[in-house]
Chain A
Amino acid sequence: EIVMTQSPATLSVSPGERATLSCRASQSVSSDLAWYQQKPGQAPRLLIYGASTRATGIPARFSGSASGTEFTLTISSLQSEDFAVYYCLQYDNWPRTFGQGTKVEIK
């Protein structure tokens, strides 16, 4: 099983600042990496797939990048609606595995 490790567990950011979230895979997942945003009481929302492709309707302030087994989600200028929990998902191998999540909170 591929283990996905997200860091940090919690990120405290002021509105308008940049947020950088990391996700590391225990082995290669190629570019088969997605990022999700989840707000309390809601289903997750797909932000990024293929490590760097924004999903339909996702604002340009969200971007994804990859370097080997290290993946990064960057939110260039945090808006109030961006405070949420973010998960990565690898879909290269079975079983599919999620990271444990990063909570982005207001500083």
Chain B
Amino acid sequence: EVQLVESGGGLVKPGGSLRLSCAASGFTFSSYSMNWVRQAPGKGLEWVSSISSSGKYIYYGDSVKGRFTISRDNAKNSVFLQMNSLRAEDTAVYYCTRDLGRDISCYDYWGLGTLVTVSS
């Protein structure tokens, strides 16, 4: 059974940092691109970042570019999101997602999410 379990969320002050982790199981992690998608309270879904299966290709949304860094450890079946210079507008539930397939980069599995709250 595919499982994605996020951790690392919490309350942080503006300008602070957090590192989110996503532990994957139930599939060959190193074969799949992985992503982070967020959802502000009461709002819609926003794609944040993606990383290819090898980690060679990385993409960011404009709202987080230069502040967030995605990475992965295929030996530990994990993907990470380092978030620096956090702003109030980064407050959201952050979901870890898996690409459906090699050439189908929509998201078939989602974690339960981890809440990040940026507030003084």
Contact = CB atoms under 8 A, between A and B. Distances in A.
A30 to B, nearest CB: 12
Contacts of B104: 49-50, 91
B1 interface: no
A71 interface: no
A96 B47 contact: yes
B106 A98 contact: no
Contacts of B110: 43-45
Looking at chain A, what size class is its interface with the partner chain? 20 to 34
Contacts of A44: 45, 95, 107, 110
B44 A89 contact: no
A101 B108 contact: no
Interface string B9-21: 0000000000000
Interface in B45-74: 45-47, 50, 59-62
Contacts of A96: 35, 47, 50, 105
Chain A at the B interface: mostly helix, strand, loop or mixed? Answer: loop
Interface residues of B, number: 21
Given A46-B107, A89-B106, A100 B44 contact: yes
A34 interface: yes
Contacts of B105: 32, 91, 96
Interface of A: 1, 32, 34, 36, 38, 43-46, 49-50, 55-56, 87, 89, 91, 94-101
Interface of B: 35, 44-47, 50, 59-62, 95, 100, 104-108, 110-113
Given A95-B60, A98-B44, 12 more contacts: A43-B110, A43-B111, A44-B107, A44-B110, A46-B106, A89-B47, A91-B106, A95-B47, A95-B59, A95-B62, A98-B47, A100-B44
